Amino acid sequence: MAGAIISPVLNPMGEELGVDPALTRLIITTHGIFIALCSPLIGIIIDRIGAKKPLIFGLIIYGFSGSAGLIITSYWLLIVSRIIIGVGISAIFTSITVLILNLYEGQQRNSVMGWRASSNNFGGILWPLLGGYLGTFSWHTPFAAYLVGIPLGILVFLTVPDKHKGVTESTDAVNHKESAWRIFKSIRILYITYGLTFFTHILLYANVVFVPQLVEPFGTISPFHIGILLSTMGLAAAVSSLMYGKIKAGLSYKTIVIIVLLIWVAGSIIISQASSTMMVGLAMALYGFGMGAIMPTTVVWTGESVPALFRGRLTSYLATFGYVGQFLSPVILSPIASLFGLSTVFIIIAGISTLLFIGLLFFLREKVKAEL
């Protein structure tokens, strides 16, 4: 919702604020950098006081800072409000993760984490539609949707239990930081889950950025049709996330990741050779199905692999790696697209997915078996 709700009004927003398109795009990307920067600090706080209070704080901040765009008429004040909303989102993201890990176990935990991911993906389909509708009144109007954070914060306060498994006594912060670092070095699964999160978000934004350009040679393609193609990825992700509890009941985390990587190889090859929107749509569906399975996998696998004392800190880095991946995706891939063409971008993604598949087989073969 953070960027999707206002993306339909970026052009009129930029025109009225008097800034060029490059600066206007910062309005929907600035918050991501601050989510990445603030998440580790939020993780430390969660480990010390529990996840409920940071979640309430995040939702209230989200509601007030997000809706500030209703009245702001200055570009730089709007950027400041986006920085603040990034802080709120970092608290929401990690708090929800830790709450689910603490409140549920086993098959129920897998199902609930899948529902969480499915909700995210369905939101990716619905919020742009709402933003587009509200944007017909004014570019300010879509910002009203952020106000939903305030009643949600009150609802969390009244209904959500605070099952805290973190620090319960006064401890030395430096020692805990060192302990978290030792845990990170000793649990090799974290290298996999962080790396997969980074790669997943690079792949996600590769599609968001390059698919509109990729389909241009196929004829006159309207923004609506491009939206449908991208929504196909979100819909497929939502469906696989919704089914995640059943998927995990029959497969190990390792097997799920291996299957997803093979699906991404197939999707990348198809889109690199695509000659029609139908082929691109098929690739989008494959990408989405894999993303819907990989996102809850990395979260639950991380949470179950680390001591409850450090869940806030070590799961918060998932947000950091994810949002850094979103930011770096066009930075890394755009020069490749300019020099070698769009098809090369997806051929390289297919190659990386293949290497990750092979590397995962060897990486998990011996020592890590005890951690599964």
Q: How many CA atoms lie within 13 A of 244 on its CB side?
A: 33
- What's residue 124's pLDDT? 79
Can you tell me the mean pLDDT for 82-99?
94
Report the percent of the chain where pLDDT is more than 70: 91
3-state secondary structure 197-249: HHHHHHHHHHHHHHHHHHCHHHCCCCHHHHHHHHHHHHHHHHHHHHCHHHHHH
- What's residue 10's pLDDT? 80
* Position 108 pLDDT exceeds 50: yes
For domain 1-164, the CATH class is: mainly alpha
Inter-residue contact 192 to 257 (CB < 8 Å)? yes
Can you tell me the mean pLDDT for 226-249?
88
Q: Hey, what's the torsion of the CAs at 153, 200, 28, 4, to 10 degrees?
A: -60
For domain 171-372, the CATH class is: mainly alpha
* Position 361 pLDDT exceeds 90: no
CA nearest neighbour of 320 among 47, 90, 12: 90
Tens digits of residue pLDDT in 256-279: 999 999 999 999 999 999 888 899
Question: Coil, strand or helix: which one is 163?
Answer: coil
- What's residue 127's pLDDT? 84
Q: Could you tell me the residue ranges of all domains in the chain?
A: 1-164, 171-372
Under the banding of pLDDT at 50, 70 and 90, the label for residue 166 is: low
Establish whether domains 1-164 and 171-372 are of one fold: yes
Number of residues that this document lists for the chain: 372
Can you tell me the mean pLDDT for 357-372?
66
Give the CA distances from residue 71 to residues 65, 74, 143, in Å, rounded to whole numbers and listed in that order. Answer: 11, 9, 9
What's the CA gap between 176 and 320, in Å, rounded? 20
Q: Considering only 176-185, 247-256, 334-343, which range has the smallest mean pLDDT?
A: 176-185
Q: Is the pTM of this model over 0.75?
A: yes
- What's residue 221's pLDDT? 66
Handedness of CA 222, 224, 228, 231 (dihedral sign): positive
